[in-house]
Amino acid sequence: MPSTPTVWDMVVAGTPSSQVILAVLGIFSLASWALLFGKVWQFRRARRHAAEAFAVLETAPRLEEAYRRVLALPDSPWTRLFRRGLNFFSELRPGALRDGDAVEGLSPAQLEVLRLMLEKEEGEERDALARGLPWLAVFATVAPLLGLLGTVLGVMNAFLGVARAGSTSIAAVAPGIAEALLTTAAGLVVAIPSAMGYHYLQSRLQLLVGDLEGFASEFIGALAREGKV
């Protein structure tokens, strides 16, 4: 009784087109897992940095002290947002941080400009955090289609082989069909983790975006507490 071929046996015995498709899917799989683990690590570190930045802004007695503490923190979207916001405020009201209450606060128009600047910075940081995520969606979408293409080509090749051999028995067709279906299975193996990872990371990204928006509001609140707006 002949032994059942392994997956590797089917890959080796497959057509050149199916082998190329499987190689591409293998590259997709490696890239998707590397991207997934990299973004999970990046987002976890970002949440930790967000908590540190919020703690500094909430506990520092004055913005000058908060600025000094922020400089000691690791570089992150929140520290960059704070530095840029405070630098922009200093441009609008030169000497406000140094002279304290002696300097008049921002006018409504200047406050609106400050808010717009913070929104722009939030958008840039959001785009930086999301960099690479669309590739997971690409892998999740393209991998099954590549797998299906490999299956269609494999089935066509199997039936052409049957026609050349002149046999219509299931024993003659089954090996070719099994090899053809291997690419569909490989496509799904790539696509399912990519799709799940993409949606998971999108939900984590929304939490980080909420943290950015909350930090910008907290920054405006800190200015208001010191009478600078």
Q: What is the per-residue pLDDT for 187? A: 94
Q: Residue 83: what residue type? A: R
Cα–Cα dist 219/80, whole Å = 12
Q: What are phi and psi of 9, to 5 degrees?
A: -60, -40
For 62, phi and psi rounded to 5 degrees? -140, 160
What is the model's pLDDT at position 16?
81
pLDDT tens per residue across span 19-65: 889 999 999 999 999 999 999 999 999 999 999 999 999 898 888 88
- Regions of the chain short of the pLDDT cut 50: 1, 102
Answer for the pair 136, 28: CB distance below 8 angstroms, yes or no. no
Q: Full-prediction pTM beyond 0.85?
A: no
Cα torsion 176, 179, 180, 183 to 10°: value is 180
- pLDDT, residue 64, reads 85
Token pair 């993409």: residue = 198
Q: CA-CA distance, 127 to 1, in Å (whole number)? A: 59
Question: Dihedral through CA 184, CA 189, CA 193, CA 194, nearest 10?
Answer: -50
DSSP helix/strand/coil, 155: helix
In whole angstroms, what is the distance from residue 64 CA to residue 17 CA?
65
d(Cα 15, Cα 180) in Å, to the nearest integer? 9
CA 42 – CA 46 distance, rounded (Å): 6
